[in-house]
Amino acid sequence: MLRRRFGAVGAAVIIALAAASAPAAAAEHDSARAGDSGSDVASSGTDERAADLVADMTTTEQAASIVMGHIPTTDAATLHAYMQQGLGGFILMGANIPATDEELPTLTAALTVDPALPPLVAIDQEGGLVSRLGGDGFPASNSLKSLPVSDSSAAFSARAALVAKAGISVNFGTVADVTSESSSFIFGRALGTDPQSAAERVAVATVAQEQVVASTLKHFPGHGAAPGDSHHAIPTTGETLDEWRATDAVPFAAGVDAGASLLMFGHLTYASVDPAPASLSARWHEIAREELGFDGVIVTDDLGMLQSSGVPEYADPVANAVSAVVAGTDLVLMIAGSTPDTAGQIVQGLVAAVDAGTIPADRLTEAATRVMSLRLQSMSAPADWALCPECEPAD
Q: Which of 177, 301, 302, 330 is catalytic?
A: 301
**CA separation (Å) from 101 to 95, 250, 321?**
14, 37, 34
User: How far, in Å, CA of 177 to CA of 301, rounded?
Assistant: 14
Torsion-angle region of 167 (φ positive above 0: left; ψ -120 to 50: alpha; else: beta): left
Question: Is 285 labeled as catalytic in the residue annotation?
Answer: no
Distance in angstroms (rounded) separating the CA atoms of residues 126 and 136? 9
Does 124 qualify as catalytic in the annotation? no
| Strands lying side by side in the sheet with 262-265 | 297-300, 262-265, 214-220, 170-175, 120-123, 89-92, 67-69, 332-333
Catalytically annotated residue among 75, 80, 101, 231 = 231
Are 395 and 76 in contact by the 8 Å Cβ rule? The answer is no
SS3 (DSSP) at 324:
helix
Residue 243 buriedness (CB in 10 A; 0-12 / 13-18 / 19+): middle
Would you name the residues annotated as active-site residues?
231, 301
